Amino acid sequence: MRAPVESKAVFVSRRCYERLLAVYPEGHRREYGLPMAQLFRDQCRDAWRESRSWGLVTLWLRVLPDLVKTSVLEHLSAMKARKSMVEKISEITNVNPAPLRTFFTVFIAVFLLVFGTSAIVTFLLPGSFQSTVRVKVERNASTSAGQNESPAASSGYDPYFFQTEFEVIRSGVVLGNVIEALDLNAKWGKRYAGGEKLKTPETITLLKGRMDLRAVRNTSSNSLTHRTKKSVKLKSR
């Protein structure tokens, strides 16, 4: 029996469908592409015979969703068919893949949990600033020997010299001057006390908590580090 004469509309529909078969995975297309195109052509001929162009339109309205849905399913099926890394490892090592799979799953889950938590916390935490100043500290040469000084100090070396200087820097007198110069009572009152001006002892306590005084090794310098949420100018005594 000879093939029936095809109308142009059927011919165009068939060609379009053959192009659309490209959405299927290669393996599926190679195996079933030709029969699928044949079936669609037969359906086009039936639709044209029944209702001409309107028949073709209704056929396309039925076939297009079918094409989209089944191509996705075939791609998912093709992905599942490819061996997973765990299965390849178990084949090589001759080990039961189930514990390996569990290990990788737990490892990835823990990694993601730690990474995710760190990222979230990092982005949620407010920014902080830190400034460090180094101060060269030397003994005052005009200090007269023997007056309220330890025997070691009178000989030129005082092991308590830096500690003494640290306490002087941390004293209420020095910090009070800093607080007054930078108006920290008012500024920190706005930030931490709901706008109410802080008292100087309260501000000193806050300032001491943010200061870090250290001696720089092998030098006669101190480093003074201050941490804050905003940049603050530090002034030396």
Partner 1 sequence: MATKRIDPEDLLPLTPAVFHVLLALADGERHGYAIMQEVAEHTAGRIKMGPGTLYGTIKRLIEARLIEESDERPDPHLDDERRRYYRLSGLGQRVVQAEARRYAEMVKVARGKKLIGRPAAAVQT
Q: Which residues bind partner 1 (CB under 8 A)?
A: 1-4, 17, 24, 28, 31-32, 35-40, 42-43, 62-63, 66-67, 69-71, 73-74
Alpha helices (runs of H) in the chain, residue ranges in sequence order: 8-20, 26-81, 85-93, 97-124, 151-154, 161-169, 172-182, 184-192, 200-209
Q: Which residues contact 56 (CB under 8 A, 6 or more apart)?
A: 9, 10, 13, 44, 47, 48
Cα–Cα distance, 69 to 66 (Å, whole number): 5
Q: By C-beta, is 35 or 151 nearer to partner 1?
A: 35
Give the shortest CB-74-to-partner 1 separation in angstroms: 7
DSSP-derived pairing of the beta strands 129-136 and 211-215: unpaired
Q: How far is the CB of 76 from partner 1 (least distance, A)?
A: 11
Give 63 or 169: the residue with its C-beta nearer to partner 1: 63
CA terminus-to-terminus distance, the chain = 110
**Helix spans in 193-226 (H):** 200-209
Q: How far is the CB of 43 from partner 1 (least distance, A)?
A: 7
Query: Residue 3 or residue 141: which is nearer to partner 1 going by CB?
Result: 3
Tell me which residue of 39, 18, 40 sits closest to 29, measured CA to CA. 18
Q: Least Å distance between CB 24 and partner 1?
A: 8
Nearest approach, Cβ of residue 35 and partner 1 (Å) = 5
Taking the least distance from each CB to partner 1, the nearer of 71 and 90 is 71
Measured from the CB atom, the residue of 36 and 153 that comes closer to partner 1 is: 36
